[in-house]
């Protein structure tokens, strides 16, 4: 049995270690992630070849972009997809999902937070997913602040189901959540009306910046709430469009200094549109990250 004296001694040593090495419990730097939406056309044609190429380029983790309707991962059952990831030395700690309030072609969409969510959670657990992320709210799913409060309740309920499976629910922002209603941001409504343990956030650095918000300020206001980041850069042209990481105006070096306070566990490169071959863009991004951020 551990004595009180040895416990205090161990705690003191641990505390001292944290002062010397503050990143001890931060994100694991061996995981450089890619959101697979960036290579979505390749994934649709040949998932196996695409994942092999992504790994060869230097990524060690990926974030899924499709689990909607079919309740499959890129056309595969969870066991087959998990095997494919393993073959390529990849892990998929996070994947994107939809709320499911909006009907698709007049039908309720399965595998969403509101429809057959338990099945989606079981499949996620089989793949080894740790974070299930509501990726987007369609226009009909937004509405007034009161409706955002209802969405927050939906998130809490879905988060409870995730928690039972050892999975964390998150929400991924765009810029529409920062359009004020009655002097308030819908994003703040979601943060305040969700249980901070059941629902965390995946901060998309591009969209926060596009909305003229400060990622570091959000981290300081809600410490520990942002375990996932999308590392997506913005060009310095009037259109403020997507560009390769390190090729734009977002100061990722400064932002990464706040990783601990954010509660960062995993980050993923995402580039919604690429000027040429997406493989070229993600290669440029990973090279910058390896040299400057990890």
Q: Tell me whether residue 74 is in a domain.
A: yes
Q: Tell me whether residue 261 is in a domain.
A: yes
CATH number at residue 280: 3.20.20.150
Q: Tell me whether residue 26 is in a domain.
A: no
Q: Is 211 exposed, middle or buried (0-12, 13-18, 19+ CB in 10 A)?
A: middle
Question: What is the rounded CA–CA span in Å between residue 111 and residue 97?
Answer: 8
The structural domain count of the chain equals: 1
Helix (H, G, I), strand (E, B) or coil at 53: helix
Q: Tell me whether residue 6 is in a domain.
A: no
Q: Is 231 exposed, middle or buried (0-12, 13-18, 19+ CB in 10 A)?
A: buried
Note whether 27 and 256 are within 8 A (CB). Answer: no
Q: Tell me whether residue 23 is in a domain.
A: no
Q: Tell me whether residue 128 is in a domain.
A: yes
Q: Tell me whether residue 120 is in a domain.
A: yes
* Residue-range definition of the domain harbouring residue 107: 31-292
Question: What is the rounded CA–CA span in Å between residue 235 and residue 68?
Answer: 31
Q: Tell me whether residue 234 is in a domain.
A: yes
Q: Which residues of the chain have pLDDT under 50?
A: 1-25
Tokens of 84: 């494919």
């Amino acid at each position: 049995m551990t004595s009180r004296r040895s416990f205090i001694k161990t705690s003191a040593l641990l505390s001292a270690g944290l002062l010397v090495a503050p990143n001890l419990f931060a994100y694991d730097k061996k995981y450089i992630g890619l959101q697979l939406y960036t290579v979505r056309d390749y994934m649709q044609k040949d998932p196996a070849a695409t994942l092999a190429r992504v790994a060869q380029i230097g990524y060690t983790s990926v974030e899924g972009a499709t689990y909607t309707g079919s309740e499959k991962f890129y056309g595969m059952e969870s066991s087959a997809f998990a095997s494919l990831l393993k073959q390529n030395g990849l892990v998929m700690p996070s994947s994107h999902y939809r709320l499911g309030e909006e009907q698709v072609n007049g039908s309720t969409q399965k595998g969403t937070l509101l429809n057959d969510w338990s099945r989606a959670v079981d499949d996620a657990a089989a793949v080894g997913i740790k974070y299930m992320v509501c990726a987007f709210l369609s226009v009909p799913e937004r509405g007034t602040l009161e409706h955002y409060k209802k969405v927050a309740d939906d998130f809490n309920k879905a988060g409870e189901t995730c928690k039972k499976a050892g999975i964390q629910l998150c929400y991924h922002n765009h810029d529409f959540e920062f359009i004020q209603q009655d002097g308030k941001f819908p994003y703040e409504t979601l943060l305040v009306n969700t249980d901070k343990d059941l629902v965390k956030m995946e901060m998309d650095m591009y969209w926060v910046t596009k909305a003229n918000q400060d990622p570091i300020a959000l981290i300081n206001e809600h410490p520990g709430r942002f375990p996932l980041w999308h590392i997506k850069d913005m060009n310095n042209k009037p259109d403020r469009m997507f560009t390769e990481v390190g090729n734009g105006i977002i100061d990722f070096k400064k932002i990464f200094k706040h990783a601990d306070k954010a509660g960062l566990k995993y980050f993923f490169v995402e580039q919604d549109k690429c000027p040429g071959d997406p493989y070229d863009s993600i290669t440029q991004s990973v090279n910058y990250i390896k040299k400057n951020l990890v």
